[in-house]
Structure 1
Amino acid sequence: MSARAALPADFGERRAAMLERLAEVARAHAEALAGGGEKYTARHRARGKLTARERIELLLDPDTPFLELSPLAGWGNDVTTGASIVTGIGVVEGVECVVTANDPTVRGGASNPWTLRKALRANEVALANRLPLVSLVESGGADLPSQKEVFIPGGALFRDLTRLSAAGIPTVAVVFGNSTAGGAYVPGMSDHVVMVKERAKVFLGGPPLVRMATGEESDEESLGGADMHARTSGLADHLALDEPDALRIARRIVARLNWRKAGPDPRPDPAPPLLDEEDLLGIVPGDLRTPFDPREVIARVADGSAFDEFKPLYGPSLATGWAEVHGYPVGVLANAQGVLFSQESQKAAQFIQLANQRDVPLLFLHNTTGYMVGRAYEQGGIIKHGAMMINAVANSKVPHISVLMGASYGAGHYGMCGRAYEPRFLFSWPSAKAAVMGPAQLAGVLSIVARQSAAAGGRPYDEEDDAALRAAVERQIEAESLPMFLSGRLYDDGVIDPRDTRTVLGICLSAIHSAPVEGARGGFGVFRM
């Protein structure tokens, strides 16, 4: 594809709207960065301790990126944004790792239900992409008021650590402070354990619980101190003098892993896009009912802006084709006009099969209102053709990455590899929306159903109540469709600046290639023809 320079006539308006949304996202990110707030951060520092993000910074190689995952977890709920834990992908001694760090400025790093979901997602990323896991631990265990939502599913955290180890994926725990009750099993089930002298405290039950359970009087140091675990219990493999020393030791552990990627290397010296990534701020219209050309996005993300389109004249509302991002090959599926018809669905299924034959990861760029409805389309087989596309997505074995740019409604969200279809990574632009259908359509459907029900019962229909109901439903669905709402519930891995898309994809593709990249050779189930 030749470089494209066309920009929409209202580019300035679109750019301004995107910048306004980015400002909202930045405010939400600031909440996560603040952790427990100034008071508790100051108290933490007064104890001579580093914050979670400072610990991560010392762990990672200098001047290397850290792709934070789920930074808005818990946003819009009754917990601190970020959910008292920081997770992401970074480079340690040249090795890409998943890093998790409890934030002790938020209720002592205790885990609430959103903390658990975020930590489990990080473990999932480590296992799927074969990335070593480094846990920076300082947590009082479950947040007791919410224990009913944490205790039973929380066992999966420890299950994951054993499964990672069984799969040959190293796990490293660095303990900076309390790691009590269930939290004690993080170092207990990790391959390598570092504890900070006179700071780390690891025990199943602290002195008060031991006294209640057994009548025994004990102090924290003899019960679970770092020195005891290094000299007596053997739980600590390394005893660090202080926090920087602990992080130095963790870096040396990773350096000695003899870790090698299992996937193919990228093409060396990839060419940057020919077009300016700044343009991505003004590509998506404020009204998602207005179509936009996703090729303009691809031209600002792909190496050299090169995109070899597959079946460009068939099913034109879905663009499919081959590109490279930071030297890694990708097959791209990008919604061009929003609606998916039978041709688009069939084209997508064929293209996904081709990518699996070639062992090429797939990139899904969402802007779809779903599969087309109506008598002619139902008679034309839209259900079986849509099912064909969803079948192909569900049974594809190559890694998938999804980016929600605009609308992602209905079964189109599934066909374009939404969260339930387990993409390796899924990110949203601030312009994205995801729901069963658009707010106006959903409110209209409810109005029609209520109107028909009143007619069937011979009751008069109150138009004023109908208007009020439609307005209320539209407001609710609009709010619940927005990316920060969805990100707060971990339905994506983060809301990103469109200008960062190429960088984020590059980090994700590099992480993906830590594991073998292999496609399905058949095994797609029955395609209804």
Structure 2
Amino acid sequence: MTILRSTFDTGSEGYLAAAEAMAAKLAELDAEHAKAIGGGGAEKLERHRRRGKLTARGRIELLLDPDSPFLELCPLAAWGSDFQVGASVVVGIGVVEGVECVIIANDPTVRGGTSNPWTLRKNLRAIDIALQNRLPVVSLVESGGADLPTQKEVFIPGGRLFRDLTRASAAGIPTIALVFGNSTAGGAYVPGMSDHTVMIKDRSKVFLGGPPLVKMATGEESDDESLGGAEMHARTSGLADYFAVDEQDAIRIGRAIVKRLNQRKEGPPPRAEVIEPLYDPEDLLGIVPPDLKVPFDPREVIARIIDGSDFDEFKPLYGSSLVTGWAELHGYRVGILANAHGVLFSQEAQKATQFIQLANQSNTPLLFLHNTTGYMVGKEYEQGGIIKHGAMMINAVSNSTVPHISLLMGASYGAGHYGMCGRAYDPRFLFSWPSAKSAVMGPAQLAGVISIVSRAAAQARGLPFDEEADAGMRAMVENQIETESVPMFLSGRLYDDGVIDPRDTRTVLGACLSAVHNAPVQGAANFGIFRM
């Protein structure tokens, strides 16, 4: 039988403690998400509405098909920085007229929708997703351009945004801009470089330089409307392809444009009949222990996210600290690699390499479920070839061309993070649970290594070793690494696409699999040289 049988006791003390810890983390996460949803604050939102304008999220809601989901991406961007959580832009994947689209919506209630360094990173991430998965891009534009105090971090890399919009168009990926207000300076190039542009009467203002700048540069007197108003661009410059009477009309026109795109998915379709998992996704709250040193069986997670809990495990008796196998998720075929006991040994690396090759041979997307402390160290393992075997796995991940999706459930440390397709290895999507942690190594191990090196250096110089100072250093380093390895810190820097509630895992992964199938799903023809 290939049906996974759960042995997890949801009434046990361990489960209840883990679920309680997860609930506390989710409450913290909700509070941070509320900051992003709150935009520039109640006062600015109210002022925005008094002007007869919809909020960024209100515009998205009207644009999407009724009752269809919206997979928001990077909602915690800029967390821990001097900028507003969310980075003054809302991005995600939603369904418009039956077509999955990447949607980018400036939030004008946050510093006029200007782009700070985190806004830029979030926008570039959204365009990368569109390019990789061949998703149309719909930009809901209302932006004052670059956040001028941070121009040194925005101006030069910001050119990539416009470059990638034109590359998307050249690749046959449609780009659409709906302009809801001011779109000045660099912001003017988004409608200028989109395939389809909609502007709104008396609302849209698109110009490279506003009246004050024009006055300063040329001495010319002008006003917003004659310089960059919707009617001027519709009648005179030709920048506006469509002239809308209000925001709702602009959204209606935007939906009509998407409807006429003749967009078709290029990947294989899912199986028509989708069978729900046999086990309750609510159980996912308590599967990961609060102490990540305590192992857990990833099959318990797999059983609660895949169709029918039906899993064909590959090499179950070999390299047992890595679970590999085949399944379907929302009707899409998928190969799964999941860490079972944290450490990756040579057998696990070899097993993963073969499995990744098989997935590429059968054009099957891969899902990586992280809970690893990295590759095993020690004289026995070095002599046994752990470096070349780990390199073999990383080679396979690097050169695999089927879509990869990564989920950090627990630890994701060291080169294990790389071998399991961490952010640097360009998974199509990467999400984290609130229980996840990621760093070069665990806090205690990292502090311990620094301590050992410092002690050896003191001995080599014949100097006394200050035990009290060492204890203080270890505590400081452990605290720093602990702070820098938690999901909200990493998500704030866009090292993942979002921190998700474990109970939403199946839905989120299903949305990702649906998105990646807009592009062809094609395995690699060859890999780099494998050291044997």
Same fold per superposition (TM over 0.5): yes
Q: Is 1:491 aligned to residue 491 of structure 2?
A: no
Which residue identity lines up with residue 527 of structure 1 in the other structure? F
Which residue identity lines up with residue 6 of structure 1 in the other structure? T
* Residue matched to 2:8: 7
* Residue matched to 2:168: 164
Q: Is 1:41 aligned to residue 42 of structure 2?
A: no
SS state of the match for residue 463, structure 2?
A: coil
Count of aligned positions: 528
Please give the TM-score of this superposition, normalised by the length of structure 1. Answer: 0.99
Post-superposition offset of 1:43: 1.0
* Residue matched to 1:269: 273
Say if 2:399 and 2:524, in contact at 8 Å, map to a contact too.
yes
* Residue matched to 1:219: 223
Say if 2:176 and 2:195, in contact at 8 Å, map to a contact too.
yes
Post-superposition offset of 1:282: 0.5
Q: Is 1:356 aligned to residue 360 of structure 2?
A: yes
Question: Take 2:472 and 2:98, find their aligned partners in 1: how far apart are those partners?
Answer: 58
Q: Is 1:344 aligned to residue 345 of structure 2?
A: no
SS state of the match for residue 369, structure 1?
A: strand
Select the residue among 261, 275, 279 that pairs with 2:283: 279
* Residue matched to 2:182: 178
Say if 1:299 and 1:306, in contact at 8 Å, map to a contact too.
yes
Post-superposition offset of 1:131: 0.4
Which residue identity lines up with residue 515 of structure 2 in the other structure? A
* Residue matched to 2:461: 457
Which residue identity lines up with residue 396 of structure 1 in the other structure? S
Post-superposition offset of 1:325: 0.2
Question: Take 2:223 and 2:104, find their aligned partners in 1: how far apart are those partners?
Answer: 29
Post-superposition offset of 1:457: 1.0
Say if 1:194 and 1:237, in contact at 8 Å, map to a contact too.
yes
Structure 1 unaligned segments of length 5 or more: list them.
none
Post-superposition offset of 1:39: 1.3
User: After the TM superposition, which residues 287-326 of structure 1 pair with which residues of structure 2 at under 5 Å, given as runs?
Assistant: 287-326=291-330
Which residue identity lines up with residue 332 of structure 1 in the other structure? I
Say if 1:119 and 1:157, in contact at 8 Å, map to a contact too.
yes
* Residue matched to 1:135: 139
Post-superposition offset of 1:4: 2.2
Say if 2:369 and 2:409, in contact at 8 Å, map to a contact too.
yes
Please give the TM-score of this superposition, normalised by the length of structure 2. Answer: 0.99
Which residue identity lines up with residue 212 of structure 1 in the other structure? M
Residue identity (%): 76
SS state of the match for residue 88, structure 1?
A: strand
Deviation sequence 1:198-242 (CA, Å, 0-9, x none): 000000010011011111000010000000000000000111110
SS state of the match for residue 40, structure 2?
A: coil
* Residue matched to 1:72: 76
* Residue matched to 2:511: 507
Say if 1:73 and 1:490, in contact at 8 Å, map to a contact too.
yes
Select the residue among 190, 194, 210 that pairs with 1:190: 194
Which residue identity lines up with residue 354 of structure 2 in the other structure? Q
Deviation sequence 1:471-515 (CA, Å, 0-9, x none): 111110000000000000000000000000000000000000001
* Residue matched to 1:200: 204
Question: Take 2:165 and 2:214, find their aligned partners in 1: how far apart are those partners?
Answer: 27
Select the residue among 212, 216, 232 that pairs with 2:236: 232
Say if 1:479 and 1:485, in contact at 8 Å, map to a contact too.
yes
Deviation sequence 1:433-486 (CA, Å, 0-9, x none): 000000000000011111111111111111111111111111100000000000
Which residue identity lines up with residue 482 of structure 2 in the other structure? E
Say if 2:344 and 2:374, in contact at 8 Å, map to a contact too.
yes
Question: Over the residues paired in the alignment, what is the CA RMSD in angstroms?
Answer: 0.6
Deviation sequence 1:130-160 (CA, Å, 0-9, x none): 0000000000000000000000000001001
* Residue matched to 2:441: 437
SS state of the match for residue 105, structure 1?
A: coil
Question: Take 2:267 and 2:173, find their aligned partners in 1: how far apart are those partners?
Answer: 15
Say if 1:125 and 1:424, in contact at 8 Å, map to a contact too.
yes
Which residue identity lines up with residue 4 of structure 2 in the other structure? A
Select the residue among 111, 117, 121 that pairs with 1:107: 111
Question: Take 1:101 and 1:139, find their aligned partners in 2: how far apart are those partners?
Answer: 9
Post-superposition offset of 1:521: 1.9
Deviation sequence 1:353-407 (CA, Å, 0-9, x none): 0000000000000000000000000000000000000000000000000000000
Question: Take 1:437 and 1:470, find their aligned partners in 2: how far apart are those partners?
Answer: 14
Question: Take 2:290 and 2:230, find their aligned partners in 1: how far apart are those partners?
Answer: 55
Post-superposition offset of 1:3: 3.4
Structure 2 unaligned segments of length 5 or more: list them.
none
Say if 1:352 and 1:392, in contact at 8 Å, map to a contact too.
yes
SS state of the match for residue 478, structure 2?
A: helix
Question: Take 1:5 and 1:186, find their aligned partners in 2: how far apart are those partners?
Answer: 51
Question: Take 1:19 and 1:286, find their aligned partners in 2: how far apart are those partners?
Answer: 11
Which residue identity lines up with residue 525 of structure 1 in the other structure? G
SS state of the match for residue 323, structure 2?
A: strand
Post-superposition offset of 1:5: 2.7
Post-superposition offset of 1:95: 0.3
Say if 2:36 and 2:76, in contact at 8 Å, map to a contact too.
yes
Select the residue among 142, 150, 154 that pairs with 1:150: 154
Question: Take 2:343 and 2:6, find their aligned partners in 1: how far apart are those partners?
Answer: 25
Which residue identity lines up with residue 190 of structure 2 in the other structure? V
Post-superposition offset of 1:525: 1.0
Which residue identity lines up with residue 133 of structure 2 in the other structure? N
* Residue matched to 2:531: 528
Question: Take 2:3 and 2:519, find their aligned partners in 1: how far apart are those partners?
Answer: 33
Select the residue among 473, 477, 481 that pairs with 1:473: 477
Question: Take 2:254 and 2:138, find their aligned partners in 1: how far apart are those partners?
Answer: 8
Which residue identity lines up with residue 73 of structure 2 in the other structure? L
* Residue matched to 2:377: 373
Select the residue among 55, 61, 66 that pairs with 2:65: 61
Say if 1:4 and 1:275, in contact at 8 Å, map to a contact too.
no
Question: Take 1:4 and 1:413, find their aligned partners in 2: how far apart are those partners?
Answer: 28
SS state of the match for residue 304, structure 2?
A: coil
Say if 2:4 and 2:311, in contact at 8 Å, map to a contact too.
no
Say if 1:3 and 1:275, in contact at 8 Å, map to a contact too.
no
